[in-house]
Amino acid sequence: MNRNQFIKLAGLSGIALTTFPNLAFNQNNFKVSYDELIGKGTPELYGNDFKLRKEAYEAYISMKDEAKKSNILLKVVSSYRDYNHQNSIWERKYKRYISQGFSPESTINKIIEYSTIPGTSRHHWGTDVDIVDANVKQPRSLLDPNNFENHGCFGNLRRWMDANANNFGFYLVYTNQEDRKGFKYEPWHYSYKPLSIEYLSEYRQLNLNEILQNENLLGKDHFSEDFINHYLNEHILSINPELL
C-alpha cells in the first residue's frame, strides 16, 4: 500500500468511526456487542415464560429443581427486557409523575428509586431475573420488600435464596447494606454472576453520557453531566460488591 492509499484509507476509517461510534467498540474482543449491552441487540435467549442467555438459563433451571425439594417453586416475573420495553416503563412512570405535579427533576429521581433509565438496565443483558415463589398465595403488590421479610409470604423463598442462590451463580444485586446508594433494596432481583460481571466490565467502557444523550428519552434535557456521573456511580455501580 502506497502513502496516498494509506492516507485515504485512514481518512475513511476516521469518518466511519465518527459517524458510527459503535464500530470503534465492536473492533475489540468483547463477549457481547454494544447494541446488546444497551438493549438494542438480538441476543440468543432461552426459556418460554422468561428469557435468559443459555448459561444463565441452565443454571436457573438447576436452581429451580433444587428449590422444589424444599417446596419452593421459583417463578421468574421479569427477565430479559429490551430497550423498547424498558423505555415503555420509563415513559409510563414519567408521564404519571408529571401529571401528579412533580417537576421533571423530581420525576426522574422518583423513577430511579427502582427503575433504570433505558439503555442502562441489567435486564438488557439476559443475565438477571426477578424471582418470587409460585407455591404461595400471590400478594396484590408482588414486588414489595415486605413480602420477603421473615413474616412475609416470600420469607421462605428469601431464606432459601440466601443459603443456596450463590451455589448456582446467582447473586442479589441491590442489597440492603446500609452504605449502599442508588436503587432501593430489591430482594427479588438476582444476577447470574459468571456472565453479568463480564458484561458490566464491558459496559463500564462505554460513554454513558453519549448513550443517554443520543436517545429520544423523556426528560433527557434534565440529564446534566453531574447527574449522569452520580447515576453511574450511585446506581449502576452501587451494587453487591460480589458483582463488581
pLDDT digits (tens, 9 = 90+) for 83-113: 999 999 999 999 999 999 999 999 999 999 9
Residue 52: DSSP 8-state: B
Nine cell digits for residue 55: 448459561
| CA dist., res. 44 & res. 54, Å (int) | 8
- Domain range list for the chain: 1-29, 31-243
Residue 101: predicted pLDDT? 98
Residue 235: predicted pLDDT? 98
Residue 11: predicted pLDDT? 42
User: What are the beta bridge partners of residue 172?
Assistant: 190
- Neighbour count for residue 26 (Cβ, 10 Å): 13
Whether the pLDDT of residue 17 is over 80: the answer is: no
Whether the pLDDT of residue 3 is over 50: the answer is: no
pLDDT digits (tens, 9 = 90+) for 177-226: 999 999 999 999 999 999 999 999 999 999 999 999 999 999 999 999 99
Of 118, 117, 124, the closest CA to residue 195 belongs to: 124
Residue 2: predicted pLDDT? 45
Whether the pLDDT of residue 1 is over 70: the answer is: no
Whether the pLDDT of residue 163 is over 60: the answer is: yes
31-243 CATH choice from 2.40.160.50, 3.30.1490.20, 3.40.50.300, 3.30.1380.10: 3.30.1380.10
| CA dist., res. 207 & res. 202, Å (int) | 11
Please state, rounded to an integer, the average pLDDT across all residues of the chain. Answer: 90
* In the chain, % of residues over pLDDT 70: 88
Tell me which of 26 and 139 has the higher pLDDT: 139
Residue 29: predicted pLDDT? 61
Strand segments, DSSP code E, in 140-227 are 170-172, 189-192
Of 129, 118, 133, 120, the closest CA to residue 189 belongs to: 129
Element (H, E) at 133: strand 128-133
Residues 6 or more apart in contact with residue 29 via CB below 8 angstroms = none
